[in-house]
Structure 1
Amino acid sequence: MTRRATLLLAAAVMLLGAGAAFLLLRPEPSRGASSGLIQALQGNTDPRSQALARQRTRNPPPLPAVSALPALIRDTSWLVRLRAASSLAERTDISAGDRAELILDALGQEVTSPASGPPLAGSYLPLSGVFRLHYVHMIEDLGSAATGPARAALRNASGDLREWTSIALAASGDNDAAPGLRDLLRRSHHAEVRMSSAYFLGLLGDRSAAGDLKAALADPATARVRSDGSEPSHTLYPVREQAAGALQALGFTVERNGDTFTAN
């Protein structure tokens, strides 16, 4: 199993809802996947509505005009922002660098003006956390083409925005992001940031992070996963899970006893 496949398997615990699992487990980026996420976020599980969504995916509405995208990305509605940003995966009339800038802007909007609402059934992340990870993985899809825009955005970012932009830089595959991620894993006050930092440290193959990842196996953050009807609500340790997956990807043996992890 490849390092990426190992991490994706371990990362399933980050987002457990059917719609949210798409963010980490989708095989390829697609507008259909984004449509599925939107349906899940709207809580629409009616089979007829889902069939209509699939029909709309086969016959999608026209893409927004390029000139309209900056305003849509900054719209006050999270659904408008999500649809506009997700449509960028299909754009061949916009350079990868320009798409990265727009996605980073969408990420910034979710950090500075987070969406509100109940978490998805089967997940524990707030809506804004789901969106932030969605945009981070869109940056990951763009790869090195997003590195320059992410570095530029990082120069002007501070606070929580700087933390998430650092994660986006790592998602672009820039190994220079690793020292910043190690610091976030140690110091960030946000469990979502710490678990994402652990995930991308493993993906980047940063063996110098082994000590910090081993320390994160005792991270105290817990999360309550809402029941999705098939399983009862339960508690997990998201940072520990991601640190364990990263260490396994780096070649370490990780043993688990309940919620306690040890690595050799």
Structure 2
Amino acid sequence: MSDQQLQGRDLEGKIALVTGGTKGIGKAITARLLSAGATVVVTARNEPEEVDNSYHFIAADLSKADEVAKVATEISNKFGGVDILINNMGANTFPGGGFSALNDEHWYQALEVNLLSSVRLDRALLPKMLEKKSGVIIHISSTSGQFPIWESTMAYSAAKSALNTYSKSLADEAGPHGIRVNTVSPGLTKTEAMSSFLTDLAGQAGITFEEMTQKLFDRVGGVPLGRMAEPEETAELVYFLVSPKGSYITGANYFIDGGNFPVVK
């Protein structure tokens, strides 16, 4: 096998877990890691619409502590642990309208889904990485974590901001033991979740989907590249960070937003 072919399969022998890996960015990450030779475990709340035998699937709602424990136990029994952990699970399914539209339950749910699911899964799977003195953890956050839109992402943004801080702290703790931890913060991305989000907002505002899409672009100050990201573009960044090519990168938060973010990061 040529050096070029080996580089294309540089995750051979690695076990990777991708949460929320059946749709959107998670699905694209799963495909990219598989193409690089990794053995991939995927979790999601529901079975994928189409059976895919290229990865091992575990149905789990990771916003619940006992479901996280179930996933960790199955992975330990079947694979002995993971080398790569992609905490992609997250959702912005909370009411828009600002502080008065959000009750305690909405805030608890935002934190469970967007922060504590990752915290618990890291806590369950990191010890095996520490034993081997190697491993990579990626937290999929959002530009919303530093650029909140009060009308529609208040609880989600607060939870993602907390995830960013936690991720940096974990990187500092785990780095001396050979574990790299990074964050990837996508901006506007063309996914099923984004389509549903815009459809709901358009319905609430009484305007078309296209009009709401333009309003969102305007609200975030525009995107210099003039379009949403494709999930595969974020997946390529994630692959780079978990591959040997990213071996000296830890504690970073990478924004992939088409130039949207309005300040120097």
Same fold (TM over 0.5): no
Given the two structures, how large is their TM-score scaled by the length of structure 2? 0.32
Given the two structures, how large is their TM-score scaled by the length of structure 1? 0.33
**Which protein is richer in strand relative to its size?**
2
